[in-house]
Amino acid sequence: MDKRVVIITITALIFVSCILASYADNTDYPSTETLKQIASAPWACDARHYDDLFEKVRLQKVAEDLRFDAWLADKATSAGCQLGKEELDFLNERKRELEFFALKSRIATTITPTESQIKKYSASWTTTLPERYEVFYIFVDTTAAQSKEEKEKLHQRALWLKGQLTKENFKEIAMLWSDHPSGAEGGAFGSISLDDFGPTFVSHIRQTPVGTIGGPYQTKSGWNIFYVRSYTPPYIRNFPKEKLTSMTAETLAGEVVNKDMQEKKTWEDMKEKFKIDKDFRVTAEIVALKNFLLSGAYLRTQISRQLPASEELMSIYKENSALFIHPPNRKAREILLTTDDWTMTMTPEAWDKRRAVRDQARELRDRIMKGGDFQSLARKYSKAKSAPEGGDIGWIQEPSNYIYDTALAKLKTGEVSTPILSLKGYLLLQLVDIQLKKPMTYEEVERKCKDIWTNRQFKKIKENLHGHYLSSK
**Which of 175, 201, 232 corresponds to the end of one domain?**
232
List, edge to edge, every strand of the sheet that includes 188-193.
188-193, 132-141, 222-232, 213-219
Examine residue 127 and state whether it is found in any structural domain, yes or no. Answer: no
User: Are 8 and 91 in the same domain?
Assistant: yes
pTM of the model: 0.61
How far is it, in rounded angstroms, from Cα 213 to Cα 229?
A: 9
How many other β-carbons are positioned within 10 Å of the β-carbon of residue 299? 20
User: Are 55 and 148 in the same domain?
Assistant: no
Examine residue 210 and state whether it is found in any structural domain, yes or no. Answer: yes
User: How distant, in Å, are the alpha carbons of 307, 341, 464, 472 from that of 312?
Assistant: 10, 60, 20, 32
Decide: 141 and 183 in contact? Cβ < 8 Å: no
pLDDT of residue 124 exceeding 50, the answer is yes
Residues present in the chain in total: 473
The number of folded domains in the chain is: 4
How far is it, in rounded angstroms, from Cα 318 to Cα 274?
A: 60
Examine residue 54 and state whether it is found in any structural domain, yes or no. Answer: yes
User: Are 356 and 370 in the same domain?
Assistant: yes
pLDDT at 29: 54
How far is it, in rounded angstroms, from Cα 74 to Cα 59?
A: 23
Those residues whose C-beta lies under 8 Å from the C-beta of residue 58, and which sit 6 or more positions away, are 39, 50, 51
User: Are 88 and 184 in the same domain?
Assistant: no
User: Are 110 and 8 in the same domain?
Assistant: yes
CATH code at 213? 3.10.50.40
**Which of 232, 254, 281 corresponds to the end of one domain?**
232
User: Are 290 and 345 in the same domain?
Assistant: no
pLDDT of residue 383 exceeding 60, the answer is yes
Give the domain range for residue 361.
329-435
Q: Is the dihedral of CA 161, 164, 167, 170 positive or negative?
A: negative
**Radius of gyration for the alpha carbons in the chain, expressed in angstroms and rounded:** 32
278 compared with 53, residue with greater pLDDT:
278
pLDDT of residue 17 exceeding 80, the answer is no
User: Are 7 and 43 in the same domain?
Assistant: yes
Among 131-135, 264-268, 434-438, whose mean pLDDT is lowest?
434-438
pLDDT of residue 13 exceeding 70, the answer is no
Quick: pLDDT tens for 294-325. 999 998 888 888 888 889 899 998 988 888 88
Examine residue 124 and state whether it is found in any structural domain, yes or no. Answer: no
Quick: pLDDT tens for 30-89. 688 888 888 889 998 888 888 777 877 888 999 999 999 999 999 999 999 999 999 999
| Residue 226 identity | F
User: Are 63 and 39 in the same domain?
Assistant: yes
User: Are 191 and 291 in the same domain?
Assistant: no
